[in-house]
Structure 1
Amino acid sequence: MVNIPRLVIAAPSSGSGKTTVATGLMAAFSERGLAVSPHKVGPDYIDPGYHALAVSTAARVRPGRNLDAYMCGTELIGPLFAHGAAGCDLAVVEGVMGLYDGASDQGELASTAQVSKLLRAPVVLVVDASSQSRSVAALVHGFASWDPEVRIGGVILNKVASDRHERLLRDALDGSGVPVMGVLRRTDQVGTPSRHLGLVPVAERHADAVGAMRELAERVRAGCDLEALLALARSTPELAAEPWTPEVATADTALAGGRRPVIAVAGGSAFTFSYAEHTELLTAAGADVVPFDPLRDERLPEGTRGLVVGGGFPEVYAPELSANALLREAVAGLAHSGAPVAAECAGLLYLAHSLDGKPMCGVLDAHGRMSGRLTLGYREAVAVGDSALAAAGTRVRGHEFHRTVLDPGAGAEPAWGMVRPERRLEGFVSGGVHASYLHTHWAATPAMARRFVERCAA
């Protein structure tokens, strides 16, 4: 059983301000000395970076963690939450899109509402009140009554214009049964730069982000009733869930007690997309995980036996990545030696011959470029053949999130056969290399982490 106070911060639609409120609450409660566990519904990589910044201290860095019912399955939401929130005083879960929006054509699956029910957590609804007054009561009533199993415990009014506007909103909500737990003025929005895939990640603007986080905490603290929100969080019932652990997930690894292979994991500003559980699984399966920065490091970590290059923004840093010729040659040499290499999205582009005309590692016979089209959505896929990452026939759920295209999109040995929402071949398997646009969550398929470590040690 898990008895951790928790809140889900949701909204009627995207753009209402839930990231501002959720991150501000995390920072404000952390500044009060509470150990806060940050979570994000859905596959998003960028918001958890800001969450981690909001709650981490000099003594401890706590990663933001994702709760994705589509990729990981509903049965893992409670255990993954319990794993991430262990030992904390409070958990704050930021929702995704609108409260009831989930995977396309699959009902409530992967919606914030579903996750709130799985966690038995109350919802705080963040409402953009900038263009309404009395109608806010109808909106809140509709969201609160749509699904009786979803408990909306409070509302935070965002983008409120004036004292008079606030009074009209409060009067309208007075008889709704949903208390107002915060009011943020239109001028209370802290600017965070965006670009083609959303917010600019923390790793690219850490100093500025730290200052913005302090300001955000102050404004949320001044505008929200933190005591009422904490009391709501503490009203949650116990959650019947055993914490997920990477040790149990990789319990049948063949490397227990053996020599630990070094697996290099790309990081830095160009490769910021990763799930905390991936490193945990690799470590539990018997590897020594060593981070490196392809923008700065001219060689791979000493003794590297395998390489993981996740997602991020190589298109933004293509000139700098290309200029680091020594590392590109080292990556190509490792791949051509047959060592296991797992690359997702940005990693796929980094292994290509070129990106926007700039030379990359040349491992894959393909060329990448920016496009004007956003590719975004959940996917179901099957491994076409055996690779260092997956056995033939392995079924996974993942997501795509990019504005680049690769020509060709699949090699002679594709990584995946996409089966939903469309059928197509995608990605590359060559020697020890497995490269694809598809992002996966290894907590759902820990055998992939075990297999990768085993191949690195072989």
Structure 2
Amino acid sequence: MTTTTDPWPLPRVVVAAPASGHGKTTIATGLLAALRRRGLTVSPHKVGPDYIDPGYHALAAGRPGRNLDPFLVGVERIAGLLRHGASVPTPADIAVVEGVMGLHDGAVGRRDYASTAHVARLIEAPVLLVLDTTAQGRSAAALTLGMAAFDPAVRIGGVILNRVGSPRHETLLRDALAEVGVPVLGAVTRAAEVAAPARHLGLVPVAERAPESLAIVTALAELVEATVDLDAVLDLARTAAPLTTPAWDPVTAVGGPAGAERPVVALAGGPAFTFSYAETAELLTAAGADVLTVDPLRDPALPAGTRAVVIGGGFPEAYAQALAGNTTLRAELADFDGPIVAECAGLLYLGRSLDDVPMCGRLDLTARMTGWLTLGYREAVAVTDSPVARAGEPVRGHEFHRTTTDPGHGDRPAWRWNDAEHGFVSGRVHASYLHTHWAGHPEAARRLVEACR
């Protein structure tokens, strides 16, 4: 068996598209589930900062869905994070990586940086292009050819035709793609589509609809089994070059446990707080913490012995009344004297109210839903010392919300970006809208565990 440093011929494929809405998530999730039903161990990955798609990937693959985002974690960590994710808890037989937006769409103003194409190059994986063929004929071949020629370093190894109108339409498309030498590995008709429910920030997370989500994943597996040549996909994945980058290691990243004592860190979960990267818990554990989950919808108290709390993102607006009804946990958080780190949904939960529904009251702010989406990568600098950052330190993050707070920041702001201050540092609380990936700055995990002591 190869070690975490030996070259590893991990079969892998990137599922991409010319633009959002072509069916990447449908095909990627269906592939994961169908390959798993074949008895393969499948490692699921997602390009970009998205939290929701990896939930469907995890349900399909039976292991955590993980993100590959060069902007958030650095170019140098992408191949190592892929190898880490494909290695734990057991080595995978194949990795399936779902892209983000269009194949060549990167961070705004940075050409293709952090795009699907960029990640495909970094992990040296072939691309399986999903095409929405609605109202298209031979032009689908021209589009595919252009996508391939735009960056010759990105290898498009096959196409899956989506939303095909009829057998005649499929024949026309296959003939056209044969002209440009791109194999068609599957064709999905419009009638066969399977849709997951969506809301204002994308798909409804798996944790909110567990039975229905399982039924959707099963249907996607059956769809892919019936319409995609899985053997051809496996053959394409096996053409990927061996991974020569060592696996990313959380213990190495944080420098090992920060002491003999193992303080308890409570990590918010459950349907209202589904936005968390798998590496967060891994880094906290590597730094010497015992990480336990708390569900603010259902758990009346923090886990026994909790010394710090991490509350990530999610949809508190969809569960405001139920969160308000858990008065004992709200009261405990209002008086908790250990470090608290809160991102986005966690920020709202710690405030006085959300759309006039009472929250924890730990922070002197009110929050409300708005009619606009705040979205994008951010290059921030810490303004105030806190349990996870030191003033003056740079960090990269991502905003994704339709709410606003009053005030927009505290007297001791957490961050500064775009010439404005954001977030709140109050006592041992650090809270803001900024989502961060701690694999990109693992010192946050170490500092939080040290702050527990």
For this structure pair, what is the TM-score category when the shorter chain's length is used for normalisation? Answer: over 0.9
Q: Does 1:188 align with 2:189?
A: no
Corresponding residue for 1:261?
263
- Post-superposition offset of 1:297: 0.7
2:423 to 427, 431, 436: 427
For 1:38-437, list aligned pairs within 5 A: 38-56=44-62, 62-86=63-87, 87-251=91-255, 253-255=257-259, 258-334=260-336, 337=337, 339-418=338-417, 422-437=418-433
SS in 2 for 1:317: helix
Corresponding residue for 2:3?
none
* Structure 1 residue identity aligned to 2:52: I
- Post-superposition offset of 1:177: 1.2
CA contact (8 A) 1:321 1:360 kept: yes
Q: Distance in 1 between matches of 2:180 and 2:309?
A: 55
Tell me the number of residue pairs that the alignment of Structure 1 and Structure 2 aligns: 444
Q: Deviations over 1:359-418 (max 9, x none)?
A: 100011100000000000000001102101111111100000000101111000000011
Q: Deviations over 1:15-41 (max 9, x none)?
A: 000100000000000000000000000
* Structure 2 residue identity aligned to 1:220: V
Name structure 1 gaps, 5 residues minimum.
57-61
Q: Distance in 2 between matches of 1:400 and 1:79?
A: 25
SS in 2 for 1:110: coil
Q: Does 1:22 align with 2:21?
A: no
Q: Distance in 2 between matches of 1:106 and 1:423?
A: 20
4+ runs deviating over 4 angstroms: none
Q: Distance in 2 between matches of 1:203 and 1:48?
A: 11
CA contact (8 A) 2:256 2:286 kept: no
CA contact (8 A) 1:39 1:64 kept: yes
CA contact (8 A) 2:159 2:185 kept: yes
- Post-superposition offset of 1:252: 5.2
CA contact (8 A) 1:2 1:242 kept: no
SS in 2 for 1:396: strand
RMSD of aligned alpha carbons: 0.7
Q: Deviations over 1:53-91 (max 9, x none)?
A: 0011xxxxx100000011111100000001001110000
- Post-superposition offset of 1:239: 2.0
Taking every aligned residue pair, what percent have the same amino acid on both sides?
A: 61
Q: Distance in 2 between matches of 1:423 and 1:17?
A: 38
Q: Distance in 2 between matches of 1:382 and 1:179?
A: 47
The two structures have a TM-score, normalised by structure 2, of 0.97
The two structures have a TM-score, normalised by structure 1, of 0.96
- Post-superposition offset of 1:212: 1.3
Q: Distance in 2 between matches of 1:409 and 1:228?
A: 52
